[in-house]
Structure 1
Amino acid sequence: MLNPTPVVLVTSKSKTNKLNIFTVAWVSTVCTKEPIIAMGIRPERLSYQYIKESGECVINLPTKDMVKIVDYCGVRSGKKEDKIKHFNLKLHEGISISTPSLQCSPVALECKVKSITPLGTHDLFLLEVLNVKVDENLLDSNNKICFNKANLICYSHGEYYGLISEPLGSFGYSVKKKNKKTKRRNKKN
C-alpha cells in the first residue's frame, strides 16, 4: 500500500554476457554513505539469476517517453525474448562495472550487490552505487542534477504517472529562518 513508488528499468548481464532488462517498482535509497539501494526481486525472474551470478546491475531511471518500454519489460520475460533487441535499445558501456546502461535513460546507477536476503515472494538485494551517469542536459551551472527536467515517471496501483515538474518545497524549507527583509515586511502588515 506504499504508493506511489519509483519505477526503474534494470539492466543485467549474465556470466556468459547475455543481457536482460526488466522493470522494478520496489526500489529505494536506504543509505547515503556509502550509497545503498534496496531492491525487491522475485527469484523466478531471469534478471534475478543474472544479478545474483554477476554481482552487479544498472538501475536506469525512465522518462515519460519510455513508459511503453517500462510496461513491456515488466510483463514480458527475458527467458522468451530479447527485450533490448525488441525495442532496439542503445547501450552505454559500464564505467565501474561490466553491465551496460540504457542510452535513453537520463540517469543510470551502476551497482554491485552487497547482500541478498530471502523474504518470501521477493528477495531483498542491497546494492552499493559505484557510479552515477547523468545526462549533461540535466545539470545546472553548479552541476546540480535538475530532476524536474528529466520527465521521470512513477508507478501507483497498476498505473504510470509523470512526476510534477516544479518542486513543492526544498529540504529544510519548513524550518528555514526568514531573512530580515521578510520579517520587516511582515511587521508592517
Structure 2
Amino acid sequence: MNNRKPVMKNQSKTGRKSAAKQFPKGHGSAVHKAVQKKQQWKPGNMVYPVPAVMVTVADKQGRDNIITVAWTGTVCTNPPMVYISVRPERYSYHMLQETGEFVMNLTTRELAFATDYCGVKSGREVDKFQELHLTRQKGAEVAPPLIGESPVNIECRITECVPLGSHHMFLAEVVAVHVSEIYMDKKGAFHLEQAEPMVYSHGKYFDLNHVLGTFGYSIRKR
C-alpha cells in the first residue's frame, strides 16, 4: 500500500501565500478569529448600524413635513427601488398615502441635531423647516420638497404599501437623484464620505470618518 500523502499538483509556494497576502494585518479572514460565546435573546431587530434619513412628504393641500426614518434601505438595482417603514399613527403616514411620493434626504454630522429633532417632534405641532432653518428646494419629479442642506436627495414614487405589523413598508421607485457639487471631484466622481455621513445604532448617532476598505478589497490583487 502506498502511504505517501497526495500532492496537490496546482499548489505552489506562491499559491499557499496568496491567501495571507489578501488579508493585511488587522483584516484577517474569519478562519483565524476566535469563536465567541453567545447568549440567545428574544427575537428582535439587531441589524445595526442603519441609515438615519430625513424623509420629506407632502399632502394634497401642499402642507409638508420631515420625518426621520431608520427602517430604510435599497431593495432593487434595476429599476432602482428603496423602501421606508413608517408607523400608521405617525403624522407623515397620511401624506405618504395621499400623494404616494417622498424624498429621501441623506444625513450628515452637521445634520445630526435636525435628524434627531425630526424623529421626536411631530409635524402636527411645528413646521420643522422653519424651526430648524432648513431650506426647501423644489424637486424635479415629485411634490415633496428637497432639503437643501442634505448632500443627496432621492426622489421616490411609491409603488406598494405593505402592512407588516407595527410598521407599514412603502416600496418606492427612485425617479430622480440630486447630489451636491461640493463633494464632486474634477473627474465627476462623487465623494459622499467627505460630507461625513451619519448612521444610527441602538439609540445613538454615529458619523463615518474612516474608510476600512472598498467593495471587493479583500480579494483584490495587491
Compute the TM-score of the two structures, normalised by the length of structure 1. Answer: 0.90
Question: In angstroms, what is the RMSD of aligned CA positions?
Answer: 1.1
2:183 maps to 138
How far, CA to CA, are the matches of 2:185 and 2:65 in structure 1?
A: 33
CA distance, structure 1, for counterparts of residue 56 and residue 76 of structure 2:
22
1:85, distance to aligned residue in structure 2 (A): 1.6
The CA distance in 2 between the partners of 1:176 and 1:66, in whole Å, is 35
For 1:122-137, list aligned pairs within 5 A. Answer: 122-137=167-182
Alignment correspondent of 1:181: none
Alignment of 1:4-153 (within 5 A): 4-153=49-198
Q: Look at both structures and tell me which one has the larger radius of gyration over its CA atoms.
A: 2
How big is the shift at 1:94? 0.6
Percent of residue pairs identical: 42
Which string of whole-angstrom CA distances, capped at 9 and with x for unpartnered residues, describes residues 34-56 of structure 1? 11112111011111111111010
Unmatched segments (≥5 aa) in structure 1:
179-189
Q: Is the 8 A contact 2:129 2:136 kept in 1?
A: no
Work out the number of aligned pairs and report it.
177
Distance 1:142 1:96 in 2: 27
* TM-score between both structures, scaled by the size of structure 2: 0.77
1:2 matched to 2:47 = yes
Whole-angstrom distance in 1 between the partners of 2:114 and 2:84: 20
- 2:220 corresponding residue in structure 1: 176
For the residue of structure 2 that corresponds to 1:20, the secondary structure is strand
The alpha-carbon deviation at position 33 of structure 1 amounts to 0.8
Query: Which protein is richer in strand relative to its size?
Result: 1
Query: How big is each residue's C-alpha offset from its partner over 1:169-189, in whole Å with a ceiling of 9 and x where there is no partner?
Result: 1122222234xxxxxxxxxxx
The one-character-per-residue Cα deviations of 1:20-78 (angstroms, maximum 9, x if unpaired) are 00100111111111111121110111111111110101000111111111111101111
Aligned mates of 1:159, 1:14 — CA distance in 2: 31
